[in-house]
Amino acid sequence: MSAVSDPSTWVAQHGDALFRYALMKMRDESQAEDMVQETFLAALKARENFSGNSSEKTWLIGILKHKIIDHFRKHKREQSSDDIESLTEQLDQQFDRTGHWSIPMRTWQEPEQAHEDKEFWKVFSACIAHLPEHLADLFILREIKGLSSEDVCKLLDISTTNNMWVMLSRARMRLRGCLDARWFNRDSNKQNRGER
Amino acid sequence: MLSCKEIGELLSQGLDRKLSFTDRLRVRFHLIICKTCSCYDKQLQFVARSARRLMQPDKDNQGIPPLSDKASTRITDTIKQQLDKAENKKE
């Protein structure tokens, strides 16, 4: 058994990570804040049970994850969950039978500039939200500082890191397609004039 | 020789782990002759960079903001109240 850190330091230590995860899932700032608070209060009650098998952050995010699932269940708002089969099919359509690309790959003009644009971040977040649930979760958790690959696998019940890499590749491929359609080449006329 | 599909997989995995020497060579040669994959590679890297900035914005952040000061204070206070309550019960 290992003890948790002083709960009065939790917000400073983990608040931002939990909030960002919650906000990506809830898409509402005040609801996300409430979820973070509920998570800490639940953790406070359960802190005797903290096993120390995972890091404190992983433990807290695990609680938050369940809180969010409960919230959606209560409010009967189904989280989008495409089934994996159809996703695999969609991805396969990007390649022909011999494994060559069957879609056009258009270059992105000055992608870094997009980072300075508020609208871009809205589009990017929306693209993530449109991923199948488990891929979105993986994609977000992967970027949380202090969570190792093993932590992420544990949180999402992914059996091996190898599977995680394959899933990440799918997530990125979809996000690339989404950004291409909704941002970089959204105005295909402009693209044709500029590029060719 | 690996197909674009297989190379695409390796390009993504290369962002998560160090590829084997053979795989690195395969990728490098493929990218020299395949414009589509080399374009895909750049876009994939951009997606990964964007994810990092979204979750860990820098100073003039455009990604997801941190927990607001107001909320941080409120939540910290609530936690402290609960801790005090528990202390009082013990005594």
**DSSP state string for A125-158:** HHHHHTS-HHHHHHHHHHTSTT--HHHHHHHHT-
Tokens matching residue A172: 């990125």
Rounded Cα gap, residues A23 and A36, in angstroms: 10
**Which pLDDT band, with edges at 50, 70 and 90, does A85 fall under?**
low
Residue A49 pLDDT more than 90? no
Residue A184 pLDDT more than 60? yes
| Other CB atoms within 10 Å distance of the CB of residue A32 | 24
Residue A81 pLDDT more than 60? no
Q: Distance between alpha carbon B71 and the CA centroid of its chain, in Å?
A: 25
ipTM entry: 0.86
pLDDT value, residue A86: 63
Summarize the confidence of residues A68-92 as an average pLDDT: 67
Tokens matching residue A104: 């056009």
Residue A53 pLDDT more than 90? no
pLDDT value, residue A169: 94
Chain B residue whose CA is closest to A148: B16
Query: What residues of B are in contact with residue A145 (Cβ under 8 Å)?
Result: 56
Residue A84 pLDDT more than 60? no
Which of A96, A64, A112 has the alpha carbon at shortest distance from B62?
A: A112
Q: Could you tell me if B26 and B13 are in contact, meaning their C-beta atoms sit under 8 angstroms apart?
A: no
pLDDT value, residue A195: 44
Rounded Cα gap, residues B63 and B65, in angstroms: 6
In percent, the amount of chain B with pLDDT more than 70 equals: 95
Query: What residues of B are in contact with residue A114 (Cβ under 8 Å)?
Result: 50
Comparing A193 with B65, the larger pLDDT belongs to B65
Rounded Cα gap, residues B10 and B16, in angstroms: 10
pLDDT tens per residue across span A144-159: 888 889 999 999 999 9
DSSP state of A95: B
Rounded Cα gap, residues A164 and A177, in angstroms: 20
Query: What residues of A are in contact with residue B42 (Cβ under 8 Å)?
Result: 108, 111
Task: Please report, for residues A8, A10, A25, A42, the alpha-carbon distance to residue B73 in angstroms, rounded to integers and kept in the order given.
Answer: 11, 12, 23, 18
Average of per-residue pLDDT values in chain A: 86
pLDDT value, residue A193: 46
pLDDT tens per residue across span A129-147: 888 888 999 999 998 888 8
pLDDT tens per residue across span B51-82: 999 988 776 657 788 899 999 999 999 999 99
Radius of gyration of chain A from Cα atoms?
A: 19
**Which pLDDT band, with edges at 50, 70 and 90, does A19 fall under?**
very high
Q: Report the residue from A20, A115, A149 with minimal CB separation from B64.
A: A20
Q: Does A118 touch chain B (CB under 8 A)?
A: yes
Rounded Cα gap, residues A6 and A42, in angstroms: 15
Rounded Cα gap, residues B15 and B2, in angstroms: 19
Cβ–Cβ below 8 Å for B5 and A99: yes
| Other CB atoms within 10 Å distance of the CB of residue A135 | 22
The amino acid present at A23, given as its one-letter code, is L
Comparing A114 with A49, the larger pLDDT belongs to A114
- pTM attached to this predicted model: 0.84
pLDDT value, residue A77: 57
